[in-house]
Structure 1
Amino acid sequence: MVGIALGANAQDDLINKLKDNKSASGRSGFQFTTVINAEATSVKNQGSSGTCWSYSTNSFLESEMIRMGKQPVDLAEIFTARNAYIEKGVNYVRMHGAISLGDGGACHDVINMYAKYGALPQEVYTGLNYGTKTNNFAEMGSLREAVLAAVVKNPSLTPNWKKAYTAMIDSYLGEVPAKFDYKGKTYTPLTFAKEVVGINPKDYVELSSFSSNPYYEKMTLMVPDNWSLDQIYNIKMDDMINTIDNALKKGYTIAWATDVSEKYFSWKNGVAYVPATNFDNMTPEEKATMFSGPKPEMEITEAMRQQAFDNYSTTDDHGMQITGIAKDQTGKEYYIVKNSWGESNDYKGYLYVSKNFVKYKTTAFLLHKDGIPADLRSKLNIK
């Protein structure tokens, strides 16, 4: 899919800024009634790491297990991240350093790493190999960059650089077990993925909407965190909402990549929408009461959406999981969204995000192909 996370330091700054926002009586001002809500596993905390893409999409896979009638496994998000960092390093060297290297990634990274490396339960691989209780990747990130910068400066490469680079990552996150026991049976990461998790990576597709490219064809999403240069299906803006709604009504959840840097995204209040008045033109009172209850929203067009992406007001900075639909007291629908910043906000780790916000600020989303409406699947030639 799309790049979903900032680098560790930038992600920390963004999270801290959002967590510092004071509640404007958001929970008492908004009254949400659940319409649809698929089952999801517990809320996690990505800590000081830009791994939202791994947390959100592994949470999505856990919900897929539930949907398939399986007992969900608490999947090791940092196992996925560790494998992506290795593959990212390979691409970085192949591209002579001319590609993104930070913590950030995309929903498709989780599917790709699952297909190549398999999966591990959290109890087998926590990624906490140096005494911390939560992720803290700043030092490791600096060393990753230093090692690879030195590698690409060499006039000719030896085959040892990848071994040294991998050993450095494993010194922070822990070595991956070749085999492990889980509930009385021995697995490898690949056999665990096949026999216990049981998803088929080929069943998952990602989509977005940009008027800069032909609709109903594949395109490469040009964001820094798409380091693997994966392609997505390009659809019309209203198709995005119709697809998400269709999937949720059929019991599927969504791995969602978006921009959360706007003033009208409030982590503390657990609400995101697009005010009818631009924030810079609001009165002090309007700014102070943005989250005191439902407000009129700006109507979003495809041209607005494209312009926001082109002028960097929509940035590729976070990934979450859409699990359901709710209505506020006026009858307007919002998506129920699971985050990975712990339970410190008004809704214990969840948010209510308006459909207009999703129209405007989505950079891409990933879902099971059977969640896509039949007519759109036919247009996209998805079998």
Structure 2
Amino acid sequence: MKKDPLFTLLLVLLLPLIQACESKHEKAPVVPPKSNYVFSSIKEIPALPVTDQNSSGTCWSFSTTSFLESEIMRLKGEKIDLSEMYFVRCAYLLKAQNYILRQGTARFSEGGLNHDPMMSSTQFGLLPQSVYTGLLKGETQHNHFNLFQALESRVKPYANPASKLGAEWRKEVPSILDGFLGKVPDQFQYKGKWYTPMSFLDYTQLNPDHYLTITSFTHVPFYKPFVLSIPANWAYERFYNLPLDEFMENIDHAIEEGFSLALDLDGTEPTFTAEIGVLPQKQEDKTLILTQIRPEKKVTLQMRQEAFENFQTTDDHLVHIIGKVQDQHGNLYYKAKNSWGPKAGRQGYMYLSVAYLKMKGISVLLHKEGLIETTRQKLYRSPVQATSIQQE
């Protein structure tokens, strides 16, 4: 989308941090100086400390990993630092298979969505961070440029039926991942006991079948599962469609009941920074609102749909919603744990206004028990729902 010249100048003057985000290498906005926003907590859900995706397009993994860590605390009462890079590795295995078997007509990129780790954990299990960091000896930061280049250069030839290369990619792709991220142990010790990735999933008490993704759009029926047509949905996974007000009500209900959520959102707006995401009512306020509280738009489902269909709203970044706060005027915001490191935003956290989330929040992943009961009943009535939230 077009960027305002004043915003561009602001970015230049403030030396923005550069981060890789989702499937694009995107500029991580810098907090404007002298912000007058004062936030006080209303509800906060326990989460592990902020981490840094560094130069990797893996915000989808970092946000979901943080979400699952909070879920383990909720279910088991134990803090377990999970491996983000194990999810990345497993996703690449599935992406390569999908891309090759579809003869190159599918998407193969660094990006992904919150349901990717849920999907891969069913097949590959989980690993703790202490066992699989994705960093080789001497490395301290993630940089996946060479990794992706190596994978892409080998996956593409296998996707060409004329190449007659067969299925050797099933050995070659894991070998590339071993070389850049490290080998996966068949067994490992955790707190004095031996586990496999699958038995460790059982240990965490997580059940991937108990999670679903909800959204709100008008081009598909409400209360029905559908494949959301966005680039990062390489796996053609299903989302569950709700009216906009009900979508927001379920987010609020989940937080109130102690459930956090993993959020996919549009981070391209000039009023989306490392600290806040806001949506000014007046265009002339779009610079001032970065530092001062200003009136925000009254978002409707029609506005949201139009922005999605004309690509003003795109899926660019994923974060972990861990609570709600209010500013000094009583306006509400969602507190989100980011993956740009503890020095970005407010010690690694950003605050998204209700208007911003309503307009720019693509979807949220949550535990089915976090839904409002009436919403759950409506989704249960869907005959194809049995493969997702009805499984126990």
TM-score, normalising length: structure 1: 0.92
Distance 1:73 1:366, change over 3 A: same
Say if 2:148 is the partner of 1:141: yes
Who is 2:200 aligned against?
A: 192
1:288: how far off?
A: 4.2
Cα separation, 1, equivalents of 2:205 and 2:315: 30
What residue in structure 2 maps to residue 66 of structure 1? Answer: 73
Mapped contact 2:280–2:286 kept (Cα < 8 A) = no
Sort the Cα spacing of 1:130 and 1:225 in 2 relative to 1 into closer, same or farther, 3 A: farther
Which residue in the other structure is 2:271 paired with? Answer: 264
User: Among residues 228, 231, 249, which one is paired with 1:224 in the alignment?
Assistant: 231
Q: State whether residues 112 and 232 of structure 2, in contact with CA within 8 Å, keep that contact through their aligned partners in structure 1.
A: yes
Letter in 2 for 1:349: G
Please state how far the C-alpha of 1:272 moved relative to its aligned partner.
1.1
* Greater RCO, 1 or 2 (C-alpha within 8 Å, sep 6+): 1
Q: How many residues align?
A: 362
Equivalent residue, structure 2, for 1:308: 307
- Structure 1 counterpart of 2:354, which letter? K
Alpha-carbon distance in 2 for matches of 1:222, 1:140: 27
Aligned match of 1:299: 298
RMSD between superposed Cα atoms in Å: 1.5
Residue 338 of structure 2 corresponds to 339
**Preserved contact between residue 5 and residue 103 of structure 1 (Cα < 8 Å):** no
Deviation at 1:293, TM superposition (A): 2.2
Aligned partners of 1:290 and 1:130: how far apart in 2?
Answer: 45
State the partner residue of 1:211: 218
Q: What residue identity is the alignment partner of 1:115?
A: T
- Residues 1:171 and 1:178: Cα distance change in structure 2 (over 3 Å): same
- With normalisation by structure 2, the TM-score equals 0.89
Which residue is 2:32 aligned to?
23
In structure 1, the residue matched to 2:279 is 274
Query: Please, which of 110, 116, 120 is the counterpart of residue 117 of structure 2?
Result: 110
The Cα of 1:329 is off from its aligned counterpart by 1.1
1:14 aligns with 2:27: yes
Check the 8 A contact 1:326/1:336 in 2, yes or no. Answer: yes
Q: What is aligned with 1:375?
A: 374
Alignment check: 8 A CA contact 1:218 1:234 kept: yes
Cα shift readout 1:352-380 (whole Å, capped 9, x = no counterpart): 11111111011111000000000111111
Q: CA deviation at 1:130?
A: 5.8
Uncovered stretches (5+) of structure 2, i.e. residues with no partner? 1-19, 381-388
- Separation in structure 1 between the aligned mates of residue 227 and residue 341 of structure 2, nearest angstrom: 32
Can you list the C-alpha shifts for 1:311-337, whole angstroms capped at 9, x where unaligned? 111111111010111111111111111
Q: What SS does structure 1 have at the residue aligned with 2:253? A: helix
Q: CA deviation at 1:343?
A: 1.1
- CA gap of 1:75–1:120, structure 2 versus 1, over 3 A, is same
Residue 258 of structure 1 deviates from its aligned partner by 0.5
Show the counterpart of 1:321.
320
Aligned residue for 2:363, secondary structure, equals strand
Q: For 1:378 and 1:153, locate their aligned partners in 2 and report how far apart those are by CA, in whole Å.
A: 46
Cα offset, 1:22, TM superposition = 5.1
1:113 Cα deviation after fit: 1.1
Q: Aligned pair in 2 of structure 1 residues 325, 127: CA closer, same or farther (>3 Å)?
A: same
Tell me if structure 2 keeps the 8 A contact 1:38–1:324.
yes
Q: 2:3: which partner in 1? A: none
2:85 is aligned with what amino acid?
I
Asked if residue 236 in structure 1 is aligned to residue 273 in structure 2, the reply is no
Residues 1:57 and 2:33 are matched in the alignment: no
Determine the C-alpha separation between the residues in 1 that align with 2:357 and 2:193. 43
Alignment partner, residue 8 of structure 2: none
Task: Summarize the alignment of residues 21-170 of structure 1 with structure 2, pairs less than 5 Å apart.
Answer: 21=30, 23-26=32-35, 29-129=36-136, 131-155=138-162, 156-170=164-178
**Alignment-mate amino acid for residue 169 of structure 1:** L
For the residues of structure 2 that align with 1:65 and 1:126, how far apart are their CA atoms?
19
C-alpha distance in 1 between matches for 2:241 and 2:31: 38
Structure 1: which 5+ runs fail to align?
A: none
Instruction: Give the letter for the 1:277 counterpart.
Output: K
Q: 1:354/1:345 Cα in 2 relative to 1: closer, same or farther (>3 Å)? A: same
How far did 1:292 drift? 2.1
* Whole-angstrom CA distance in 1 between matches of 2:311 and 2:341: 28
Q: CA deviation at 1:114?
A: 1.2
2:185 and 2:371 mapped to 1: Cα distance? 37
Does structure 1 retain, via aligned residues, the 8 Å contact 2:31–2:345?
Answer: no
Name the CA distance, whole Å, in 2 between partners of 1:22 and 1:258: 19
Q: For 1:78, what is the secondary structure of its paired residue?
A: helix
Write the distance in 2 (CA, Å) between the matches of 1:168 and 1:351.
Answer: 35
Deviation at 1:153, TM superposition (A): 2.3
Q: 2: CA distance between counterparts of 1:187 and 1:257? A: 32
Query: Is the CA contact 2:33–2:291 (under 8 Å) kept in the aligned structure 1?
Result: yes
Equivalent residue, structure 1, for 2:186: 178
SS at 2:159 equivalent: helix
Which residue does the alignment assign to 1:201? Answer: 208
**Counterpart amino acid of residue 273 in structure 1:** V
Q: Which letter does structure 1 place at the counterpart of 2:185?
A: P
